[in-house]
Structure 1
Amino acid sequence: MKKLLKLLPIVLIVLAITSCSSIRVAADYDKNAEFNNYKTFAFFKTGIDKAEISDLDKRRILRAIETELLAQGYTKSENPDLLVSIFTKSQQRVNVYNNSWGVGGWGWGGWGGYGPGWGYGWNNQPSVSTRTEGVLYVDLIDANKKELVWQGMGTGLLTQRSVEKKEARIKEFVTKIMENYPPELAQ
Structure 2
Amino acid sequence: MLRSFSLYFALLLIASALAACSPIRVLDTEADAGFQLRNYSTFDFYQVEASGDALEPYGPQLAFLKQEITQQLQQRGLTRTSSNPDLKINLGIVVAEKVQTRETNIQTDPPFYMGQRRYSWRSREVETGRYQQGTLSVHLVDNARNEMVWQGAAAGVVPDDNTAKLQKRISEGVQKLIELIP
- TM value normalised by structure 1: 0.66
- Aligned counterpart, 1:170: 170
Question: 1-side partners of 2:74 and 2:125: how far apart?
Answer: 52
Deviation of 1:32 (Å):
4.3
5+ residue gaps, structure 2, are 1-16, 110-123
- Aligned counterpart, 2:23: 21
What amino acid maps onto 1:68 in structure 2?
Answer: Q
**Aligned ranges for residues 13-52 of structure 1 at < 5 Å?**
19=21, 21-33=23-35, 35-45=37-47, 48-50=48-50, 52=54
Question: 1-side partners of 2:142 and 2:180: how far apart?
Answer: 17
- The structure 2 residue matched to 1:98, chosen from 97, 103, 111, is 103
Question: 1-side partners of 2:22 and 2:129: how far apart?
Answer: 13
Mark the CA change 1:25 to 1:175 in structure 2 (over 3 Å): closer, same or farther: farther
Give yes or no for contact 1:25–1:177 (8 Å, CA) kept in 2. Answer: no
- Aligned counterpart, 2:93: 88
Deviation of 1:79 (Å):
2.6
What amino acid maps onto 2:74 in structure 1?
Answer: L
What amino acid maps onto 1:98 in structure 2?
Answer: E
| SS of equivalent to 2:145 | coil
| SS of equivalent to 2:148 | strand
Question: 2-side partners of 1:57 and 1:129: how far apart?
Answer: 25
Mark the CA change 1:56 to 1:97 in structure 2 (over 3 Å): closer, same or farther: same
- Aligned counterpart, 1:135: 135
Deviation of 1:24 (Å):
3.1
- TM value normalised by structure 2: 0.68
More strand by share: 1
What amino acid maps onto 1:21 in structure 2?
Answer: P
5+ residue gaps, structure 1, are 1-14, 103-123
- Aligned counterpart, 2:155: 155
Mark the CA change 1:80 to 1:128 in structure 2 (over 3 Å): closer, same or farther: same
1 or 2 for the larger relative contact order (CA 8 Å, sep ≥6)?
2
- Aligned counterpart, 2:84: 79
Deviation of 1:161 (Å):
3.2
